[in-house]
Amino acid sequence: MSTNDERPGFYFHEKTLWFSAGEAVLVLPPDGWLQPGGSHADSPEPKRRLRSLMEVSGLAAHFDIVAAPAAAEDDLRLVHSAGYLSRFKALSDAAGGAVHPTAPFAAGSYEIAALSAGQAMAAVFDVATGRRRRAYAVSRPSGHHCLPDMPMGFCHFANVAIAVRRAQRAGLAKVVVLDWDVHHGNGTQACFYDDGSVLTLSLHQEGCFPPGASGAMGETGRGAGVGANVNIPLWPGSGHEVYLHAFDHIAVPAIRAFAPDMIVVVNGLDANGVDPLARMLAHSETFRAMTRGIGLLADELCGGRLAIIQEGGYAESAVPFCGHAVLEELAGVSTAVEDPFLELMREQQPSTAFNAAHVAHLQQHPRYRPVGPAGSSSHGLEAVAAKPNAAAQTMLAPA
Ligand code: ZN
């Protein structure tokens, strides 16, 4: 890799697509009334199709594409206990299985999960140490539900937490981890809950996963970490407007107040309107706008240092277009790709009354900040127009 390469890094290892959660019907093993023969919701297709779309659109040429090595055991031990690692490895070396019922895996998954963590780790490390300004990684299996001692929700290693700890060992001080995956980033929250050096924020569907109270507004950190955890639970059915309002008025001011040295995004794309594992109505322009906002914030606060790690997202139709929008924005280019689902998603947005009621609810959040007349506390994402984006440098023809 050339250190003069201004392109963002794209960290991806083909073998991460080989991870298998085994046979399931959506997320449950075939049993009882569930006819065998289904496939688990965590299929490789959404990520494979995004990678493929990048080639077809020409966007891939705007990234320095890297297959990073697997995380070493010493790296995994920055977050995980030796007991968990040996238990996972033993099952993986045998026939596969599950340490937790929500995270089944096939034989050989330990090594693939270490590769997944390795992509996130390299992306964060290379930005943190100044080798590049921006980076994107595809992690599969995902990581943000994984606890230090227990996998959960398709997540086997805490990819982003490992990456942040590794970068902190190399000198990085204050880090923001912004998680816009539709499910609560409970694992990342747990890894940093009593640590004031990492501000964790999670924008998620209220009570979706882990089911119930996880991700409540009142979970704000512990000890030295008090105030460094911000949960923004959103009502089922929330769409573009509510997402951007919460982003602008809660996430942005909290990140500004924290003054990070680097921003890491957990880019779950499962708040899209057709995802099988959530009930939200975001679309590709929502993800584009949030990416633009976080990029501007990174430029303002921390020399542009930004790493985006893709994890969740289960709709093989929508995820490629949501991810492509994020990548276009990150690279500052626009391609000829048009999201064919966008108009339908726009027509299905929640009502004005829903949005007004939800905004009034968000105003009760302790970290909510109003936007001044000049928009001084916000990037005003609610007013951001769809593509072509302001940062677009190049119009690409499809290959
Ligand atoms: Zn998710």
Q: For 219-237, what is each residue's pLDDT tens digit?
A: 999 999 999 999 999 999 9
Burial of 46 by CB count in 10 Å (0-12 exposed, 13-18 middle, 19+ buried)?
buried
Q: How far is the CA of 105 from the centre of ligand 1 (A)?
A: 17
Flag whether the pTM goes above 0.95.
no
Q: What separation in Å is there between the alpha carbon of 183 and the centre of ligand 1?
A: 4
* Burial class, 269, CB count within 10 angstroms (exposed 0-12 / middle 13-18 / buried 19+): buried
Q: pLDDT: is 31 or 378 the higher one? A: 31
CA of 181 from ligand 1 middle (Å) equals: 5
Give residue 147's identity as a one-letter amino acid code.
L
- Tokens (6 digits) for 59: 């966007």
395 Cα to the center of ligand 1, angstroms: 32
pLDDT of residue 372: 53
Using the mean position of ligand 1's atoms as its centre, give its distance from the Cα of residue 239 in Å. Answer: 16
Task: Please check the confidence at residue 280 and state whether its pLDDT lies above 50.
Answer: yes
Quick: pLDDT tens for 69-125.
Answer: 999 999 999 999 999 999 999 999 999 999 999 999 999 999 999 999 999 999 999
Residue 373 has pLDDT above 60, yes or no: no
What residue ranges in 61-154 does DSSP mark as E strands? 64-66, 96-98, 104-106, 134-138
pLDDT number for residue 392: 33
Please say whether the dihedral angle defined by the alpha carbons of residues 258, 263, 268 and 271, taken in this order, is positive or negative.
positive
Active-site residue 145, yes or no?
Answer: yes
The whole-chain average pLDDT of the chain stands at 93
Residue 215 CA to ligand 1 centre (angstroms): 13
Pairing mode of beta strands 175-179, 96-98 = unpaired
Cα-to-centroid distance, 4 and ligand 1 (Å):
35
**Burial (CB count <10 Å: 0-12, 13-18, 19+), residue 162:** buried
* Domain residue spans of the chain: 9-27+37-395
Q: H or E element: which one contains 177?
A: strand 175-179
Report d(CA 285, CA 307) in Å as an integer: 20
Largest CA distance in the chain: 62
**Distance of CA 156 from the midpoint of ligand 1 (Å):** 14
Residue 317's SS3 state is coil
Distance 396 CA to ligand 1 centre (A): 31
Q: Could you tell me what percent of the chain has a pLDDT over 70?
A: 92
pLDDT at 63 over 70: yes
Per-residue confidence (pLDDT) for residue 5, from 0 to 100: 66
pLDDT above 60 (res 388): no
Over range 332-355, report the average pLDDT: 98
Q: What per-residue confidence (pLDDT) applies to 52?
A: 98
Helix/strand number for the chain, H first, E second:
12, 12
| pLDDT, tens digit, 9 for 90 and up, residues 2-28 | 445 689 999 999 999 999 999 999 999
**What residues contact 351, with CB distance under 8 A and at least 6 apart?**
none
Surrounding ion ligand 1 within 5 Å at CB are: 181, 183, 268, 270, 312
> May I ask the CATH class of domain 9-27+37-395?
alpha beta
Under 8 Å CB-to-CB from 32, ≥6 apart: which residues? none
Q: With bands split at pLDDT 50, 70 and 90, how would you rate the model's confidence at 163?
A: very high
Q: What is the DSSP string of 3-31?
A: TT--SPEEE--GGGGG----B-BBTB-S-
Rounded distance from Cα 171 to ligand 1 centre (Å):
30
Q: How far is CA 152 from CA 47, 95, 346, in A?
A: 20, 19, 33
What is the structure's pLDDT at 376?
44
**Of 13, 145, 156, 283, catalytic:** 145
Q: How far is the CA of 10 from the centre of ligand 1 (A)?
A: 21
Q: Which two tokens stand for residue 29?
A: 């093993």
